[in-house]
């Protein structure tokens, strides 16, 4: 058998083993998940509300977020689950008169979950900080958050409590369509 064929067979087998290991890792990370699909496995996706009245506009933290994406919450279970490589969508919430406007600011893959030093809260309010790995991050951001105009998504999200919540698969698709639309100019981290 020619050496080139043997080498190709070995390379192919190594690729198959690595692909299988990646799928197993995703299933261990998020075994009971809904959300964004990668290679046939499912990842949970979470939404975090960034309320402008309390935290200021999302663009005010964008410089820091571009260096290492993060989000804040007080929900321990969700924060720890998300830190297993799940997607977090940070959604800015603006209240104008009696109407709530939701705008997608950024999405990143979370790998870290930190508690405040000595139990102190982050920004005087939040117990946990999720973050991407240091260095190049997986995800996107918008220079200006994009309005989420889908009435079904908005109706669902309006009923969710503050903090962090798992996003049903059909609503993840709404957010992914906004990201994929070239008019919105999603930028990679």
What is the token pair recorded at 87?
A: 């997607």
Number of domains, the chain: 2
Q: Which residues form the domain of 4?
A: 1-31
For residues 18 and 73, state if they share a domain: no
CA distances from 81 to 22, 42, 155, 175 (A): 18, 14, 25, 20
For residues 18 and 63, state if they share a domain: no
pLDDT at position 126, please?
Answer: 82
For residues 59 and 15, state if they share a domain: no
For residues 25 and 62, state if they share a domain: no
Higher pLDDT: 136 or 30? It is: 136
CA distance 153 to 147: 12
Tell me if 37 is assigned to some domain: no
- CATH at residue 87: 3.10.590
Give per-residue pLDDT as tens, 89-116.
Answer: 999 999 988 899 999 999 999 999 988 7
Tell me if 70 is assigned to some domain: yes
Tell me if 38 is assigned to some domain: no
Tell me if 49 is assigned to some domain: yes
Tell me if 116 is assigned to some domain: yes
For residues 5 and 56, state if they share a domain: no
Residue with tokens 């939404």: 47
pLDDT at position 21, please?
Answer: 52
For residues 145 and 183, state if they share a domain: yes
Q: Does residue 188 surpass a pLDDT of 80?
A: yes
For residues 85 and 143, state if they share a domain: yes
pLDDT at position 153, please?
Answer: 97
For residues 70 and 146, state if they share a domain: yes
For residues 22 and 49, state if they share a domain: no
The reported pTM is: 0.75
Of 6-10, 44-48, 126-130, 147-151, least confident by mean pLDDT is 6-10
pLDDT at position 13, please?
Answer: 63
Give the pLDDT band (50/70/90) at residue 66. Answer: very high
Of 12-26, 38-52, 131-145, 162-176, least confident by mean pLDDT is 12-26
For residues 19 and 71, state if they share a domain: no
CA distance 104 to 35: 17
Tell me if 53 is assigned to some domain: yes
CA distance 87 to 110: 6
Give the pLDDT band (50/70/90) at residue 136. Answer: confident
- The whole-number average pLDDT for the span 141-169 is 92
User: Which range, 8-17, 56-65, 119-128, is most confident?
Assistant: 56-65
């Amino acid at each position: 058998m020619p050496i080139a064929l043997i080498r190709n067979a070995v390379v192919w087998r190594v690729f198959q083993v690595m692909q299988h290991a990646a799928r197993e890792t995703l299933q261990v990370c998020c075994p009971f998940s809904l959300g964004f699909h990668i290679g046939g496995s499912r990842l949970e996706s979470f939404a975090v509300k960034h309320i402008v009245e309390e935290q200021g506009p999302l663009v005010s933290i964008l410089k820091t977020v571009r260096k290492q994406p993060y989000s804040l919450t007080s929900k321990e279970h969700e924060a720890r689950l998300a830190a297993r490589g799940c997607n977090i969508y940070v959604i800015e919430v603006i209240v104008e008169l009696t109407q709530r406007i939701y705008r997608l600011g950024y999405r990143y893959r979370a790998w870290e979950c930190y508690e405040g030093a000595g139990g102190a809260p982050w920004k005087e309010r939040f117990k946990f900080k999720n973050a991407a790995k240091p260095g190049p991050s997986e995800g996107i951001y918008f220079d200006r958050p994009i309005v989420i105009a889908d009435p079904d998504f908005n109706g669902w999200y309006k009923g969710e409590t503050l903090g962090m919540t798992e996003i049903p698969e059909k609503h993840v698709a709404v957010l992914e369509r906004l990201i994929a639309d070239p008019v919105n100019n999603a930028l990679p981290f």
